[in-house]
Amino acid sequence: MRRRVRALWGAILLTAGLLAGAPLAAAEPPVWVVKSHRAQVVLFGSVHVLPPGLIWEPPALKRAIARADEIWFELPVDAATQARTAELATHLGVLAPDQSLFRLVGPADATRMSRVADAYGVSTMLLDRLQPWLAEIALAGATYRKAGADTSSGVEQAIEAEAPRAARRFAFETPEQQLKIFAETPLPEQVASLDETVKEMESDPDEFASLLRAWMAGDVAALDREALRPLRQASPDLFRRIVVERNERWLKVIRGRLKGHGRTVIVVGVGHLIGPEGLPARLRSLGYSVEGP
């Protein structure tokens, strides 16, 4: 359950390699358009890493990007940010020298994790040195790499390359802010989330494919039901930190743009745009006219 949610919006986890070779209808990922008297904000829910050659961009988004004055991402889309994220992960995600992840999770879960790591080509010596949150990312990432994903083929990279040079680029967060959300999660929640991810990887390695199909089809009800609802119910505190609080911060920026003028495109993980806590629903509750699902 938690892996599903992190896979929808985590800047490190997202990929769609499980769709390789699967038949897909015309791409219709959801797009929302918010208008005020002099401004327009287009919201698009991203999947951060995709298989090469996947045709995903809806025409409404393509038109919005071509006319955008500003484009906002979760993080800056550049090599420096990638390098900083890797550096911080090493700093925040490594256990103390006298600690062991396999001891931390317990014998039964350690055996399962070792079995899954071997199946996906992840070094158990590496995993043993990682905090549970980073070990979960490493394992989930291995799943997607094994399925043929390419980290250079994500939504953000494509939009950054496609957008006019004149369009100003902004980011809602820094790598420090984003990774601390995971690193500051209480250890019992980290361990529980890791254990659930390992179980899912072993029992249903292809489950993300159905979520990506829902994204490609613009089926926001399915995305909410399969991805957000489990975390919302099982770990309300984690859901609040990962989704609700970040959405509230980002909402302030969006409202500021709507009070001004010009055309803004906002690209964030799709998990931030669906469900009653999503940005479109929050904007509607504040009285804004929002076109979209």
Q: What confidence tens digit (pLDDT) does each residue in 135-193 have?
A: 999 998 887 777 666 667 789 999 999 999 999 999 999 999 999 998 998 898 889 88
- pLDDT at position 6 over 50: no
70-73 and 39-46 strand pairing: unpaired
Taking the C-alpha atoms of residue 292 and residue 287, their distance in angstroms, rounded to an integer, is: 15
Amino acid, single-letter form, for residue 70: E
Tell me the three state secondary structure of residue 267. Answer: strand
Determine the Cα–Cα distance for residues 100 and 128; give it in Å rounded to an integer: 5
Tracing tokens 């420090």 back to the chain, one arrives at 176
Query: Can you give the pLDDT at residue 200?
Result: 83
Measure Cα distances from 96 to 108, 131, 161, 289 in Å.
Answer: 23, 9, 40, 51
Three-state DSSP state, 273: coil
**pLDDT, tens digit, 9 for 90 and up, residues 23-80:** 445 678 999 999 999 999 999 999 877 777 888 999 999 999 999 999 999 999 999 9
- The pLDDT of residue 19 is above 70: no
- Mean pLDDT for the chain overall: 87
pTM of the model: 0.87
Q: What is the pLDDT of residue 118?
A: 95
Q: How does strand 262-269 pair with strand 70-73?
A: parallel
